[in-house]
Amino acid sequence: MVEAALAARSLSKRFGSLLVTDDVSIELRAGEALGLIGPNGAGKSTLIAQLAGRLPPDSGQVLLEGRDVSALPAHARARAGLVQSFQVPSLFSSFSTLANVAIAAQAAHRHSYSFLRRADRAREYVEPARALIEEVGLSHCADRNVGALSHGERRYVELAVALAARPKALLLDEPLAGLSRAESERMIAFIGKLKKRYAILLVEHDMEAVFSLADSLCVLVQGRIIARGAPAALRADPAVIEAYLGDDASSGGAHA
């Protein structure tokens, strides 16, 4: 069998008496988009934080291409190829788009002392950064400071930054947040292309986007996965409808 690009094994996290994630196991393979859905407070953000290394689990393992990365902090997991794209873009606003992406390319570089060089002046970082900026459709913004860009443009800069980190698995946390309808449609199309190249775990409130992008879904309720499978099957699952999707599931009105 093909090794999972990303796997969680029995992850659990408790805050005091509150069990936020309860024995959660998932598997994600290269070229697959797995949608993680659930009501507010279900534990989605806590699970993503445990996968990314920003929050240590109380028990369980995180495996990246079969390698146990459970003991690695977030920055080390990112260098290993487990990359999160945040719901709120975290960028250097006073730096240009090119500099932001080149710095990410530099951070992913394994050579010693590469940090001593200006990323936006080093050819080995600038060339791949420009290619990624072109891929996300922001060539016209390459030399503009990120702080001067629109919210939608910054979302694409953030994606370029994530891709510059050479991901093996991408954690996309609400990539459509704050986008207009036209921007959302473009982002959905772009993520659809990305999933052919990367393993993607997608958390998103726009249920129509989730159902159109995800190859499979996991439904998280009160910290436990109550169902998993193909989107069409889960959309019609009475237990999922009762626990989460609601009466308007068939019309796509529910939110993650």
Is residue 256 very low, low, confident or very high in pLDDT (cuts 50, 70, 90)?
very low
Per-residue confidence (pLDDT) for residue 2, from 0 to 100: 64
Per-residue confidence (pLDDT) for residue 248, from 0 to 100: 44
109 has pLDDT over 90 = no
Is residue 108 very low, low, confident or very high in pLDDT (cuts 50, 70, 90)?
confident
Q: Which of 61-75, 112-126, 160-174 has the lowest mean pLDDT?
A: 112-126
Residue 247, classified by CB atoms within 10 Å of its CB into exposed (0-12), middle (13-18) or buried (19+), is exposed
- Mean pLDDT over residues 42-71, rounded? 95
Cα separation, 169 vs 202, whole angstroms? 11
Write the CB contacts of 71 (distance below 8 Å, at least 6 apart in sequence).
none
Question: Residue 158: which of 143, 169, 174 has the closest Cα?
Answer: 174
Span 195-241, pLDDT tens digits: 889 999 999 988 889 999 999 999 999 999 999 999 988 888 887 77
Mean pLDDT of all residues belonging to the chain: 87
Is residue 88 very low, low, confident or very high in pLDDT (cuts 50, 70, 90)?
low
254 has pLDDT over 60 = no
If one counts every other C-beta atom within 10 angstroms of the C-beta of residue 128, the result is 18
116 has pLDDT over 60 = no
Ordered domains of the chain (ranges, CATH): 1-81+169-256 (3.40.50.300), 97-166 (no CATH)
Predicted model pTM: 0.86
Per-residue confidence (pLDDT) for residue 20, from 0 to 100: 95
169 has pLDDT over 60 = yes
Cα separation, 5 vs 60, whole angstroms? 17
Q: What DSSP character marks residue 146?
A: G
